[in-house]
Structures are given as structure tokens and as C-alpha cells.
Amino acid sequence: MEILEKINAADLQNKLSDGTYVLFFTADWCPDCRFIKPAMPQIEEEYKDYTFIQVDRDENIKLCQELGIMGIPSFLVYRDGKESARLVNKDRKTKEEVEHFLNQAV
């Protein structure tokens, strides 16, 4: 999984302009993020049509504010530069919940 460097919303838009992406918003200190992280390689393997990008909330706090990411772990799906789905809240997420979200995002 690619780890996103510090970036602003405009540059992110350019980066995601072609293709289908899942942004995984997380932070090292977040217990709910640590809960889902071990399942992420399996999720990536199951959803090969997506490019997964991990976004450190603390490194990209301004970006999170611009995108309305108020809780982590959270997930955004982008298709050809446009947001097409979001799973954004402060709740712990299971592998099954993330898979259900990605199935609905298709």
C-alpha cells in the first residue's frame, strides 16, 4: 500500500485523476486503526481493481479538514479524480464492514 506524503487537496485531485483509488485515513496512535490494519493486505488482495493509499491523518491534518474526515479509520473511494463513496466516522471497522463498503462502492 502506498503511503501518501503530505499533500493538499488540489495536488491530491491531480494524483487521483486517472484510475480507481481507496484512501485509507489512519494514525499510529489510533486503536481502531490498529484494529483494521492487519486486515488491509487481505482487503487489497481481494480488490485488485483499486489502488490503495494510506493517509496519515496527523501528517495531512489540513487535507483531512478539507475533505471532511472527522474520524478515523475512514475510507474514501475516488474514480478518475472524483470522490464516489465514503465510509467516514469514528467507529471501529471490521474487515467485513470495509468489504461491504467497497462492494457498495463498485
Nearest alpha-carbon partner for 57 in 91, 35, 28, 95: 28
Q: Which of 23, 30, 76, 102 is catalytic?
A: 30
DSSP string across the chain = -EEPPS--HHHHHHHTSSSEEEEEEE-TT-HHHHHHGGGHHHHHHH-TTSEEEEEETTTTHHHHHHHT--SSSEEEEEETTEEEEEE-SSS---HHHHHHHHHHH-
The yes-or-no answer on residue 64 being catalytic is: no
Q: Which of 22, 23, 33, 102 is catalytic?
A: 33
- Which residues are known catalytic residues? 30, 33
